[in-house]
Amino acid sequence: MKKNRPIPWLRVAVHIIGWLPLALLIVYFFTNTLTVNPIQDIEQRLGRIALYFLVATLAVTPIYTVSGWGAVLPRRRALGLYTFFYAGLHILVFLGLDYAFNFPQIIPLLFGKIHLLAGVLAFSLLLPLAVTSFDYFIRRMGRNWKRLHWLIYPSGLVVILHYAWSLKGNLFTLQGNIIQPLIWGLVILVLLILRLSPLRRWISSARRKVCGLH
Amino acid sequence: MERKLRDGAIPTSEITPYSSYLSRRDFLKAAGIVSASAFLAACGMNSSAGPSAGIGGPTSEPIRGSGTPTPSAPVPDNAQGLLTDELGNPLNTLDQITHYNNYYEFSTAKDAVASLSQDLKTSPWSVQVGGLVQNPKTYGIEDLLKFQQIERIYRLRCVEAWSMVIPWTGFELADLLQDVQPMASARYVRFVTLADKSQMPGESDPTYPWPYDEGLRLDEAMHRLTIIATGMYGQSLPNQDGAPLRLVVPWKYGFKSIKAIVKIELTEKQPETFWNNISAREYGFYSNVNPNVDHPRWSQATERRIGELGRRQTLMFNGYYDEVASLYTGLDLRANY
């Protein structure tokens, strides 16, 4: 008789969360709840969803550092790939639905408009991470894999600029529509600070003391 | 006096298709049919349709008639694009116009404004008109009915690169300004929106310089295309579209057309304006629709007409070039964006 494997709840949860936004988007589309300008709404929703997954990906290690919950660590890869998936859909909607793959029109936009340039840059930084996310590369690349995947931080910060610059606000004078990008930018900064080695070691040892381990 | 103020502002051709000969009921009925044709356009079936309706295009009918609608013209028979602007573009539907609103006093989410604005108290309402005028006045909404009531089908082009075609009702701003008699020193007109956090939740957001204010050069304000709208689609103006009265300047980006006006002031100096205060490099005082001058962060060359899938080329001065270009003779439109 086969031994019953425990259901990997966390893993299942991550995949449900991963597909839920797309499922909702499809439901919204067919129930006409995507405003009267659905292309723009889909485009912007996909961008925000990608950002949320990016933040979730960045949160995995700090969550482990603070809580010592080791089960979250293997889930980081799936979260990272969902980030890439939604970022890719976001770009595909921009290129295909919004601009009908009209590249003579799109190319000058991509390189002439700073918010689009930031978006292109952020996605280009995510691309090698997605490609090298398989076990094969993790084994092959050794220490370099970690170095390469550090790129998620600059990508996160550039995404915030992309977000802020696409809205009608001024990030530098803090005027206009900037609350959302500002909040998410601060979240990414905090997650980044929590990764700094000295702080991370200090938090880990403090946690061990509090929990009475070691 | 009137002629003098209007000199140079009178377009040579009649740009507005007057639906005013339709009775209100016919107007609404026709509008309902247009909804169907806009739906067809949304499905991409009508995308190349040119001017198809009898009432589009220039007409020789004088704009300031006796004040009574002329009932003679029959309602055109073809259902598709029955009501269009003078370029043959079908009207957007009432549903589209009332559920996609940039109105940050209520919300930055365009689809949330409709419900959040329902409790705005638009009656009683008064508008203070003063500053450099001989005859400052405070008008109640009912006082505004004394101005020649008009219907205008205008394109509205948002700075965010989407657009609509909207049938407004209201009166020409010039009529109101003539009523208060601008002094010779008056060069600009400043408009201010209601400031009331209890009714306009968005005004509690401290990152914006409330209240919303806007401005025009006096000759722009006196131009015959510049109107104060008090209604839309033959009914009173919905709250989310700027009730009880708003400015409509069809050749400028939508944010110039300030909503829920409580104050109009004639000034000598160029007034400060809301978006210009937030980011002067991005939102100039003029903000004329211009496909050749990009917003620093995004292109203005194309736009999406709400209800359509593809993008359209944006027209110079939003298609009102013949009527308004003379206002800007000798002005560098790149420097004065």
Chain B residue numbers touching A182 (CB-CB < 8 A): none
Residue B306 and residue A37 in contact, taking contact as beta carbons nearer than 8 Å: yes
Residue B87 scores a pLDDT above 60: yes
* Contact (CB<8Å) A169/B309: no
Contacts of B322 (CB under 8 A, 6+ apart): B11, B12, B13, B15
The pLDDT of residue A38 is 95
Q: Kindly report, residue by residue over A140-164, the tens digit of the pLDDT.
A: 998 999 999 999 999 999 999 999 9
Is pTM beyond 0.90? Reply is no
The pLDDT of residue A213 is 59
Residue B282 scores a pLDDT above 80: yes
Segment A84-98 mean pLDDT: 97
Q: How confident is the model at residue A210 (pLDDT cuts 50, 70, 90)?
A: confident
Residue B45 scores a pLDDT above 70: no
pLDDT, chain A, mean = 92
Chain A residue numbers touching B282 (CB-CB < 8 A): 168
Give the least confident one: A204-213, B4-13, B268-277, B309-318: B4-13
Segment B315-324 mean pLDDT: 98
* Contact (CB<8Å) A179/B162: no
The pLDDT of residue A3 is 62
Which residues are paired to A68 by β-bridges?
none
Q: Kindly report, residue by residue over B68-86, the tens digit of the pLDDT.
A: 333 333 333 223 446 899 9
Residue with tokens 């220490």: A143
Residue A198, both tokens: 């000295």
* Contact (CB<8Å) A37/B306: yes
Residue B213, both tokens: 């204010």
Q: Kindly report, residue by residue over A5-29, the tens digit of the pLDDT.
A: 788 999 999 999 999 999 999 999 9
Instruction: Please identify among residues 152-181 of chain A the ones whose CB lies closer than 8 Å to any CB of chain B.
Output: 165-166, 168-170, 173-179
Residue B207 has φ and ψ, to the nearest 5°, of -85, 5
3-state secondary structure of B228: strand
DSSP symbol at B141: G
